[in-house]
């Protein structure tokens, strides 16, 4: 029974340590692969979905989940006779009280980061994006140094330099400049005659959704770009760097708000605050000002299919999970999840998108893997596993009458070296009953003179 009782808590602890990085790995890898697929797959109904609507719906889903869990937390402490309206007003006062206004900054930065993620995944391969997005380690370290006054040891600076070098190797173009120019001209060429238009439609297949809009060929280039999207690595790289900066600043600012808060607030309420302040910029900036005309013309849900909805739900869940792990600072889970994300994204890109791994990409991804794994994992010392023996304590224990047969009362499991109390009487080597002194000396007490006058008394 005793062994079973001890085995169960250890199993629960192992599951609690394993579950976080599995959830983080699944969420991040699935979002990257699905988001990239939703941006390059044949569009539904001849229209590709607007990223502003996806960002807004992700914030709405996040708000709904966080609000439900926050109401459940408040109801556990509220009396059973409290009506639902009073419960909702109590939650509202908790959400908009105190320092909740400070979360408007990280909320807006999250919206900006999520919008740039879609732009990056529309122009970069999934594997290349996943590796480049690890620049958030560098931006988080820099903002932590500036806002939280954190110290970065030289070993971590070296790992960050290795990270930047790995990203640079990954971003080396595969083709020569002449080939890139030829491919660019080929991708931007659109038909100028009826024969070329028919050839394009036959080449794209019968299931293509291209339409000749007018006799002046208005919108033909846009239709071709929609059916066969062209990846622009430069735009993808700039969008990924911008997303890394916004994500790093948002996480550090959120952590600063949690540390500076004078009272404890539930993390579900914090998630409600983040979602509430994220909905407004996603609605007014993304939907109304940026894509208002397109939404009014073709509808809010243009181009939506199962891949788009799955991407939105996974992104919403990922935002909630990330807020929890920022607050708990589980760096070991984040390190394992990042390592697994990179590996699974490379495998998924090769399997799903026919991604070709080059020598520079392989070398750069290996450098990023080493840098991210050792940077975020706290179990590795600077000596990389060099063991160090425990320190030895040297204490001068004296005999105590409370101990059995005058033995010193040392703390349990304490390794110490006992020194003799006098130059002539070695208690550590003698028996429990010391020998009598010579005729010229008086018996000396085992305890030292408190006044410090000497070891012997005058006759």
pLDDT in tens, 348-397: 999 999 898 999 999 999 999 999 988 876 555 444 444 444 454 444 44
Top-confidence residue, 337 or 405:
337
Determine the Cα–Cα distance for residues 339 and 345; give it in Å rounded to an integer: 10
What pLDDT, on the 0 to 100 scale, is given for residue 82?
Answer: 79
What pLDDT, on the 0 to 100 scale, is given for residue 174?
Answer: 58
pTM, full prediction: 0.70
CA distances from 96 to 70, 90, 105, 269 (A): 13, 10, 15, 10
Give strand pairing partners of 310: none
The DSSP 8-state label assigned to residue 418 in this structure reads P
What pLDDT, on the 0 to 100 scale, is given for residue 260?
Answer: 85
Residue 96 has pLDDT above 80, yes or no: yes
Mean pLDDT to the nearest integer, 436-443: 50
197 class by beta-carbon count within 10 Å (0-12 exposed, 13-18 middle, 19+ buried): middle
pLDDT in tens, 275-327: 999 999 999 999 999 999 999 999 999 999 999 999 999 998 887 776 666 55
Determine the Cα–Cα distance for residues 274 and 67; give it in Å rounded to an integer: 11
Q: Highest mean pLDDT: which of 216-225, 291-300, 389-398, 431-440? A: 291-300
Top-confidence residue, 246 or 454:
246
Residue 227 pLDDT class (50, 70, 90 cuts): low
Place of tokens 């192992």: 14
Residue 341 has pLDDT above 70, yes or no: yes
Mean pLDDT to the nearest integer, 147-155: 90
CA distances from 292 to 51, 54, 75, 109, 299 (A): 12, 14, 40, 21, 10
pLDDT in tens, 247-285: 999 999 988 988 887 777 788 888 899 999 999 999 999
Which among 267, 268, 246 has a CA at the least distance from the CA of 258?
267
Determine the Cα–Cα distance for residues 459 and 456; give it in Å rounded to an integer: 9
What pLDDT, on the 0 to 100 scale, is given for residue 248?
Answer: 94
Determine the Cα–Cα distance for residues 81 and 188; give it in Å rounded to an integer: 67
Packing angle, helices 2-40 and 331-353, rounded to 10: 40
Lowest mean pLDDT among 179-183, 209-213, 344-348, 372-376: 179-183
What pLDDT, on the 0 to 100 scale, is given for residue 71?
Answer: 87
Top-confidence residue, 454 or 92:
92
113 class by beta-carbon count within 10 Å (0-12 exposed, 13-18 middle, 19+ buried): buried
User: Dihedrals φ, ψ of 417, to 5°?
Assistant: -110, 125
- What percent of the chain stands above pLDDT 90? 38
Residue 202 pLDDT class (50, 70, 90 cuts): low
What pLDDT, on the 0 to 100 scale, is given for residue 124?
Answer: 93
CA distances from 88 to 81, 101, 139, 334 (A): 14, 19, 38, 34
H or E stretch at 161 = helix 154-170
CA distances from 7 to 12, 15, 17, 91, 269 (A): 9, 12, 15, 41, 35
Count the neighbouring beta carbons within 10 Å of the beta carbon of residue 250. Answer: 26
Place of tokens 């939404």: 295
Mean pLDDT to the nearest integer, 409-432: 47
Determine the Cα–Cα distance for residues 364 and 254; give it in Å rounded to an integer: 31
CA distances from 448 to 67, 97, 292, 405, 452 (A): 70, 64, 90, 19, 8
What pLDDT, on the 0 to 100 scale, is given for residue 94?
Answer: 81
């Amino acid at each position: 029974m005793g062994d079973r009782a001890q085995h169960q808590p250890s199993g629960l602890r192992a599951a609690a340590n394993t579950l976080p990085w599995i959830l983080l790995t699944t969420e991040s890898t699935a979002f990257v692969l699905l988001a990239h697929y939703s941006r390059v797959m044949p569009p539904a109904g001849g229209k590709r979905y607007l990223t502003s609507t996806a960002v807004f719906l992700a914030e709405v889903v996040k708000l709904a989940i966080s609000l439900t869990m926050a109401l459940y937390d408040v109801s556990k402490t509220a009396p059973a006779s409290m009506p639902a309206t009073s419960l909702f007003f109590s939650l509202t006062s908790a959400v908009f009280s105190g320092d909740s206004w400070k979360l408007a900054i990280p909320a807006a930065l999250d919206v900006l980061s999520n919008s740039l993620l879609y732009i990056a995944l529309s122009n970069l391969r999934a594997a290349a994006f996943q590796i480049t997005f690890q620049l958030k380690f560098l931006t988080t370290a820099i903002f932590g140094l500036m806002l939280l006054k954190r110290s970065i040891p030289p070993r971590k600076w070296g790992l960050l330099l290795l990270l930047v070098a790995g990203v640079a190797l990954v971003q080396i173009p595969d083709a020569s400049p002449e080939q890139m120019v030829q491919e660019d001209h080929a991708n931007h060429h659109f038909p100028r005659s009826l024969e070329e238009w028919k050839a394009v439609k036959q080449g794209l297949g019968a299931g293509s959704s291209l339409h000749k809009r007018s006799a002046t060929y208005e919108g033909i280039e846009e239709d071709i770009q929609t059916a066969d999207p062209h990846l622009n690595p430069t735009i993808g790289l700039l969008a990924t760097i911008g997303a890394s900066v916004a994500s790093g600043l948002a996480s550090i600012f959120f952590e600063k708000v949690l540390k500076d808060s004078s009272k404890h607030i539930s993390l579900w309420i914090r998630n409600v605050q983040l979602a509430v302040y994220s909905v407004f910029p996603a609605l007014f900036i993304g939907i109304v000002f940026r894509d208002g005309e397109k939404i009014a013309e073709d509808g809010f849900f243009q181009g939506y299919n199962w891949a788009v909805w799955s991407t939105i739900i996974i992104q919403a869940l990922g935002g909630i999970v990330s807020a929890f792990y920022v607050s708990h600072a589980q760096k070991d889970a984040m390190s394992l999840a990042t390592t697994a994300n990179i590996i699974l994204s490379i495998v998924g890109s090769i399997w799903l998108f026919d991604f070709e791994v080059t020598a520079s990409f392989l070398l750069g991804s290996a450098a990023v893997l080493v840098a991210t794994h050792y940077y975020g994992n706290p179990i590795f010392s600077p000596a990389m596993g060099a063991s160090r023996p425990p320190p030895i304590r040297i204490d001068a224990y004296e005999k105590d009458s409370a101990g059995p047969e005058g033995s010193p009362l040392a703390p349990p499991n304490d390794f110490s070296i006992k020194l003799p109390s006098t130059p002539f009487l070695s208690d550590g080597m003698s028996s429990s009953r010391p020998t009598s002194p010579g005729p010229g000396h008086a018996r000396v007490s085992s305890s030292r003179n408190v006044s410090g006058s000497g070891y012997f008394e005058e006759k």
